[in-house]
């Protein structure tokens, strides 16, 4: 671990140029088989369906940027496009957004990995905790300078604009480190990510096992423009939650004292096979170098959301990815991706 000061570093916005995108191949039959099913009624075919969607995701992203794919040792995968780089590791699940590091860089384009601690969403899933060690094993091949924060945090819990602003939820962060308060977190984000302004939302979606990850409810599309998930049905469980978040964003200001532009993004609707409401959202999209992958759910609002997102990225191709099977693990496109920005990093290879 380096003692380097991060005062001159910043966390780039997602729309900035990527060197690579990190994904992990799905293999867990609990996540994609029995989780969120009726008790005693696992879906034996779900994992194969999820694998097919992953091939589509990887093939699409391979045309946009370098795809780095984590697989189990000895695993063979057919139908992968050319150019995908394989990294073997002992890992549990696909949520690279949450257990891989946050990458920051300085004005000289020098890259540093900020590694948060991952405890499987507040100790909810003991089998997933080993994913906290994935980066240290993979980084033996790269030797990218890594800062260990000692703070429990998933990157899906924070949203940044590349210009010193971070959005998060009280619901998630106050549960992850009960000994820390808002001021503590603001100092931590300033120290490790050079964040100047934190916008605090109250909570995330109903039935979200991540305790309200922000990447399911808001998304920066420019340094000053935010898409905010919004529910129009007053009877829906998410109506008040999203309305309150929208109003908080409307009243927020950037470090220059100016308001943000807030655009409503409609909500999809879906229930798990056990009858519970799923934490589905179009805000959980991924901005690649040339494409934007958007989760869709065979919902009437799919086309509306795709049109709104396309208007924000006229130079990129917008592609809808059917996430009706992937969501059984509790997340979708943004959750399974972690971008590595372009930057200079020592590489042993």
Other C-beta atoms lying within 10 Å of the C-beta of residue 74: 6
CB 309 within 8 A of CB 271: no
Q: For residue 294, what are the β-bridge partners?
A: 320
Cα–Cα distance, 309 to 307 (Å, whole number): 6
Look up residue 344 and give its DSSP letter: B
Residue 242 in tokens: 């999203």
Beta strand extents in 11-82 (DSSP E only): 18-24, 66-71
CB 113 within 8 A of CB 146: yes
Residue 188 in tokens: 């931590």
Q: For residue 169, what are the β-bridge partners?
A: 201
Cα–Cα distance, 25 to 71 (Å, whole number): 6
Catalytic residue among 172, 312, 323, 335: 335
Could you identify the residue written with the tokens 């994913």?
131
CA dist 348 to 47, 138, 140, 143, 144, Å?
A: 35, 12, 8, 6, 9
By the 10 Å C-beta count (0-12 exposed, 13-18 middle, 19+ buried), 109 is classed as: exposed
User: Is 312 among the residues known to form the active site?
Assistant: no
Q: Where are the alpha helices (DSSP H) in the chain?
A: 46-62, 96-99, 120-123, 134-138, 170-176, 182-193, 239-251, 302-312
Q: Give catalytic residue positions.
A: 335
């Amino acid at each position: 671990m380096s003692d380097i000061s991060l005062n001159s570093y910043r966390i780039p916005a997602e729309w900035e140029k990527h060197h690579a995108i990190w994904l992990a191949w799905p293999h867990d039959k609990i996540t994609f088989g029995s989780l969120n099913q009726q008790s005693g009624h696992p879906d034996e075919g779900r994992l194969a369906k999820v694998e097919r969607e992953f091939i589509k995701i990887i093939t699409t992203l391979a045309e946009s940027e370098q795809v780095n794919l984590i697989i189990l040792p000895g695993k063979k995968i057919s139908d992968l496009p050319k150019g995908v780089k394989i990294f073997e590791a002992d890992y549990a699940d696909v949520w690279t957004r949450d257990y891989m590091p946050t990458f920051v860089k300085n004005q000289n384009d020098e890259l540093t990995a900020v590694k948060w601690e991952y405890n499987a969403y507040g100790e909810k899933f003991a089998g997933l905790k080993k994913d906290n060690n994935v980066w240290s094993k993979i980084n033996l091949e790269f030797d990218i300078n890594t800062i260990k924060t000692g703070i429990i945090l998933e990157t899906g819990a924070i949203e940044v604009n590349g210009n010193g602003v971070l959005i998060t939820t009280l619901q998630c962060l106050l549960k992850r480190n009960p000994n820390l308060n808002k001021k503590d977190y603001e100092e931590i984000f300033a120290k490790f990510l050079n964040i100047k302004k934190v916008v605090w939302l109250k909570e995330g979606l109903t039935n979200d096992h991540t305790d309200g990850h922000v990447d399911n409810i808001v998304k920066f599309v420019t340094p000053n423009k935010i898409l905010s998930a919004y529910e129009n049905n007053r009877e829906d469980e998410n109506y008040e939650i999203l309305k309150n978040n929208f109003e908080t964003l409307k009243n927020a200001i950037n470090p220059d004292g100016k308001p943000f532009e807030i655009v409503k993004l409609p909500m999809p609707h879906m229930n798990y096979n056990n009858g519970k409401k799923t934490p589905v959202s179009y805000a959980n999209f991924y901005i690649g170098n040339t494409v934007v992958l958007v989760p869709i759910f065979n919902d009437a609002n799919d086309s509306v959301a795709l049109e709104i997102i396309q208007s924000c990225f006229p130079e990129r191709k917008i592609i809808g990815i059917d996430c009706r099977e992937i969501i059984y693990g509790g997340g979708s496109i943004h959750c399974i991706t972690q971008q590595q920005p372009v930057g200079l990093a020592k590489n042993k290879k």
